[in-house]
C-alpha cells in the first residue's frame, strides 16, 4: 500500500465513491466531503485541508482529511476518514489515523478533535475513535437533527503528552 498526499483530477469522484460506499453518510454530507477536495485543489494549502490517501495497486482504498482549526494555535481536526467497506477490518482506518496524527504532531498539534454523531449508524466509528485513544469531550443533543447528537472526541498528542 502507498500513501498519496497530492490531490489530482478524479479525486472528487474517488471521494464521492468512497463516501457513498461507506453507507452512513447522507447526500449533503457526501457533497461536503467532495467540496473539501475542490477547496484543496483550488486554494492549495491555504484551504486548511490536508489529504492523505491510501492506495493499493494504484486504486484509492481510503483517505483522511484533516487540518489545523482556524483561529487556534495547536488544535487540529480530523474532518473526514473513510475506508472502502469491502476492505474494513484490515487496519486501514487505523493506519490512516496514525499517519495523520504523526503528521499533525510534527506540524505542532497538541490536541486533535473529531466530530461525529451519536446515532446507531456511527457506533462502529465511535468505537474506532475510542480504541485509538480519543475521549469524549462534549455531546450536543439533537445537534444534527432529532435524536442525532453531535459527539466531540479529543486526543492529546505531541508535546502535551509529556506533561500528562
Contact footprint for a copy of itself (CB under 8 A):
26, 28-29, 32, 69-75, 110-111, 113, 137-140, 142-146, 152, 154
Give the dihedral sign, CA 143/147/149/82.
Answer: negative
Nearest to 124, CA basis, from 5, 20, 22? 22
Query: With respect to a copy of itself, which residue has the nearer C-beta, 75 or 132?
Result: 75
Overall residue count recorded for the chain in this entry: 164
Nearer to a copy of itself, 44 or 145 (CB): 145
- To the nearest 10 degrees (0 to 180), the angle between helices 11-22 and 27-43 is 160
Q: How far is the CB of 28 from a copy of itself (least distance, A)?
A: 6
Least Cβ distance, residue 72 to a copy of itself (angstroms): 5
Q: How far, CA to CA in Å, does 108 sit from each of 33, 99, 103?
A: 25, 15, 9
Query: What span, in angstroms and rounded, lies between the C-alpha atoms of 127 and 104?
Result: 22
Contact call for residues 24 and 2 (beta carbons, < 8 A): no
In the bound complex, what is the minimum distance in angstroms from residue 162's beta carbon to a copy of itself? 14
Between 14 and 116, name the residue whose CB sits nearer to a copy of itself: 116
Residue 17 Cβ vs a copy of itself, minimum distance, rounded to whole Å: 19
Please, what is the Cα angle at 130 between 40 and 146, to 5 degrees? 75
Of 30 and 61, the one with the shorter C-beta distance to a copy of itself is: 30
- Comparison of 38 and 137: residue with beta carbon closer to a copy of itself: 137
Distance (Å, rounded) from C-alpha 158 to C-alpha 164? 11
Residue 143 Cβ vs a copy of itself, minimum distance, rounded to whole Å: 5
Amino acid at each position: 500500500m502507498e500513501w498519496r498526499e497530492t490531490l489530482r483530477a478524479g479525486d472528487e469522484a474517488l471521494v464521492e465513491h468512497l463516501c457513498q460506499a461507506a453507507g452512513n453518510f447522507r447526500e449533503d454530507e457526501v457533497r461536503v466531503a467532495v467540496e473539501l477536495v475542490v477547496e484543496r485543489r483550488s486554494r492549495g494549502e491555504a484551504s486548511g485541508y490536508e489529504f492523505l490517501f491510501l492506495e493499493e495497486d494504484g486504486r484509492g482504498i481510503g483517505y483522511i482529511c484533516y487540518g489545523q482549526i482556524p483561529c487556534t494555535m495547536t488544535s487540529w481536526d480530523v474532518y473526514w476518514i473513510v475506508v472502502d467497506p469491502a476492505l474494513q477490518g484490515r487496519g486501514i482506518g487505523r493506519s490512516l489515523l496514525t499517519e495523520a496524527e504523526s503528521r499533525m504532531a510534527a506540524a505542532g498539534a497538541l490536541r486533535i478533535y473529531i466530530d461525529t454523531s451519536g446515532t446507531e449508524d456511527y457506533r462502529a466509528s465511535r468505537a474506532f475513535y475510542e480504541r485509538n485513544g480519543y475521549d469524549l469531550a462534549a455531546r450536543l443533543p439533537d445537534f444534527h437533527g432529532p435524536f442525532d447528537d453531535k459527539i466531540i472526541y479529543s486526543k492529546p498528542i505531541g508535546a502535551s503528552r509529556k506533561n500528562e
